[in-house]
Amino acid sequence: MAGSLCGVWVDDAGRVHTTLDTAEGGRETRIAMLRPFAWLGTEPAAATAGVAVEALRGEGPFRHLAHAENTDTLDAFVRAARDGGVDVLRPIESQFLLQQRERLYREMMFGQLRRCQFDIEVASADGSFPDAARPDDRVLAIGLRCGGGNRLLLLEEPTDAAEKKLLLAFNATLAEIDPDVIEGHNLFKFDLDYLRQRAKRHKVPCAWGRYGQNAAFRSSKLKVAERWIDFTRCDLPGRAIVDTYLLVQLHDITTREMTSYGLKEAAIYFGITDDDSERTYIEGAQIQHVFAADRARFCAYLEDDLRETQGLADQLLPTYFEQARTFPTTLQEATLRGATSKIDLLFLEEYYHARQAVPSPPEVKPFEGGYTRSFQEGVFRHVLHFDVASLYPSLLLHIGRNPRNDTLGVFIPLLRRLREYRLKYKQLAKTGATIEERAEAQARQTSFKILINSFYGYLGFSGARFGDGELAAEVTRRGRELLQALIDEFAKHGATILEADTDGIYLSSEKYHDQPEALLALVAPILPEGIELEFDGRYAAMFCYKAKNYALYDGKKITLRGSALRSRGIEPFLKKLSGQLIRYLLGASPESPLVALEDYRREIAARTLPVAELAKSEILNQAPEAYERLIAEGGKPRRASAEVALQLNPRPRMGERVSYYITAKAKGKTSDWQRARPLALHDPITAPYDADYYTGKLDDWLERYATFLGIQPLPPTSEQGELGF
């Protein structure tokens, strides 16, 4: 196939519509054919017109393969065959990529991807939160940014005819730009669904896809760590939709440092916009007024939104771009699917072409996890970090055994091949001829590193088709033994072990702090063949709070690890106090937090501390309507954040963040959930915050950290005096 695929869509007749890039950077459309397929548990008793069934080699629950003439025929066949067991690969575009051993963007660099950032601004007739279902609420503007250039489509007048004209102009502009990817922040939950509702009102087709196709919408949800996010998914034939709001949250799973996932806050966190930059800010309630009174300022605001969206995607999207180049899947699916389903695709591709019977996901029994131990508490200097490079994948290759139900023997050869790719690009990231080549190689080696490290987690996941809990347990056992051997060896050379887990070992060594390679050379000989120990960082100080919770200071930057030190739900005033404590303990600041603590006491008692400093923010892990039904049926427990969500209009959705404070106690209302009030509804006269409640929070904070400050906390009293220090 000439050129790289940069778009694919399969219609109901089984025709595959593809878009390829050309040498000049253009786009060319072609048609191919697909014979859609499904794996079967049993052979059908009778033949079905338009469906061919063949027996597969080897053992496995799905030992027959059915190919159909088109997708409609396949769907009808699958509905009839469900009792015998059937497994269909979705989306159907993955079947085409798998059949052809094809990949999207195979020969393209990230910079060659035709990307378009997208944002809308809307108006509310009565000044309340915009609602697309209200006839007089409108789309004010649609902003598009492609290749660094902006196109702003603006509402000419507040009429239905003008809004319809705006929506048609959006369709025409998308067709002209013809992007491979549309990027936006929170576009699933707001922008695209809002446009859909307004387009339906004005009888304008959502003609946003390629091949003359309209957008398709459906309810969906995404699991991010321990919580679910509800959203209205939009699919565009031949294009990918990338929501940076979701990518930011997926990124934060590992760091857990972000306090907000909004565009402006995320842009500051990722260094796209500085706090004191000239970025144009407009409060949400003022947007429509600024649109009418100061059009230049409004346009600058919209252009900044587009610029920040591009900046987020510039940093977060390359990893998923590489996944689309690696797996038989679309870019949009890569951003919305977990690692397990992607790894499954690689195995299924081999099993499909080998005509080998396919297994079902086995039951994985609980097993002992990796090594995690905190050895010390307090502040330590001359800290070094050593890391076993890709410990679990390296141990898997060292063991050399495939999962039990991998009858084709794909797992280990595939892992070894991916590791070779990663090492190749890791080297190119250092030696590439241009900055662009080195950056591209770095993105690819990072993507392969993530993929390789996912192979171990895949083994121990119950939903993994080729999982093997016993093999995963053996890997963790050997990992624990290896880390313990390293700990003993470091200790032999005078190091003080501080913290150890599967990510490596933190230790304190004044002798080797300036020559870590010498210590590494002394310890490395005990490693098995194929296992490599790396020096991974040097720090001036480390604050060890408790297991898996610590802070590192390299002389310039402080890095926090563990939820106890960087919880997103902690109140801002306590977060600032803890930040000052950590900077003080690590030697990054001479200012003791005890002075600030006393200032907070006085301000809270006088209620001069702004309520926003006291408000707690939490992400809803349940839809307000579902929580309301649960409580009505006598369910428990009651939760402050959920109660607050019921007080808001419009109600937030599952996965969104709510902020609230605690009001004074009243008769019959003593629990937090009874006294929780939305921050947006704060009234200092009728519903002031409970000063005693928040003073008690300071007492709890001091009790937690007093030992590290070398003081004894005073017992809480109604009137606190000076601290004894």
535 pLDDT higher than 90:
yes
- pLDDT category at 254 given cuts 50, 70, 90 is confident
Q: Kindly report which listed range (120-134, 373-387, 532-546, 592-606) carries the lowest average pLDDT score.
A: 120-134
> Do the beta carbons of residue 688 and residue 664 sit within 8 Å?
yes
Q: Which parts of 529-584 are beta strand (E)?
A: 533-546, 549-553, 558-561
- Decide yes or no: CATH 3.90.1600.10 for domain 372-563: yes
Fold of 564-709: Topoisomerase I; Chain A, domain 4 (1.10.132)
- pLDDT category at 724 given cuts 50, 70, 90 is very low
- Dist CA 326 CA 333 (whole Å): 13
Partners of 617 in the β-ladder:
659
Q: What is the mean pLDDT of residues 203-210?
A: 98
- Decide yes or no: CATH 3.30.420.10 for domain 110-321: yes
> Do the beta carbons of residue 583 and residue 555 sit within 8 Å?
no
Whose structure tokens read 């428990």?
Answer: 636
The pTM of this model reads 0.84
> Do the beta carbons of residue 92 and residue 34 sit within 8 Å?
yes
Q: Kindly report which listed range (248-257, 374-383, 580-589) carries the lowest average pLDDT score.
A: 248-257
pLDDT tens-digit readout, 108-157: 999 999 999 999 999 988 877 788 999 999 999 999 999 989 999 999 99
> Do the beta carbons of residue 375 and residue 497 sit within 8 Å?
yes
Q: What is the mean pLDDT of residues 397-412?
A: 95
Nearest to 478 by CA among 552, 579, 371: 371
26 pLDDT higher than 60:
yes
Strands laid side by side in the 504-508 sheet: 372-374, 496-501, 504-508, 378-388, 533-546, 549-553, 558-561
pLDDT score recorded for residue 2: 60
pLDDT tens-digit readout, 353-391: 999 999 999 988 888 888 889 999 999 999 999 999 889
180 pLDDT higher than 60:
yes
pLDDT score recorded for residue 563: 78
pLDDT score recorded for residue 447: 84
Helical pair 469-492 and 516-523, crossing angle rounded to 10 deg: 120
Whose structure tokens read 């990992």?
Answer: 479
The answer, yes or no, to whether the previous bond of 413 is cis (omega within 30 of 0) is: no
pLDDT score recorded for residue 126: 81
35 pLDDT higher than 80:
yes
The rounded mean pLDDT for the chain is 92
Nearest to 13 by CA among 62, 91, 74: 74
pLDDT score recorded for residue 144: 98
- Dist CA 249 CA 489 (whole Å): 39
Nearest to 118 by CA among 305, 328, 333: 305
Burial class of 595 by CB neighbour count within 10 A (0 to 12, 13 to 18, 19+): exposed
Helix, strand or coil for residue 513?
A: coil
Whose structure tokens read 């800290």?
Answer: 383
71 pLDDT higher than 50:
yes
pLDDT score recorded for residue 123: 93
- Dist CA 29 CA 180 (whole Å): 13
| Percent of the chain predicted with pLDDT > 90 | 74
Domain boundaries, given as residue ranges, for the chain = 5-100, 110-321, 372-563, 564-709
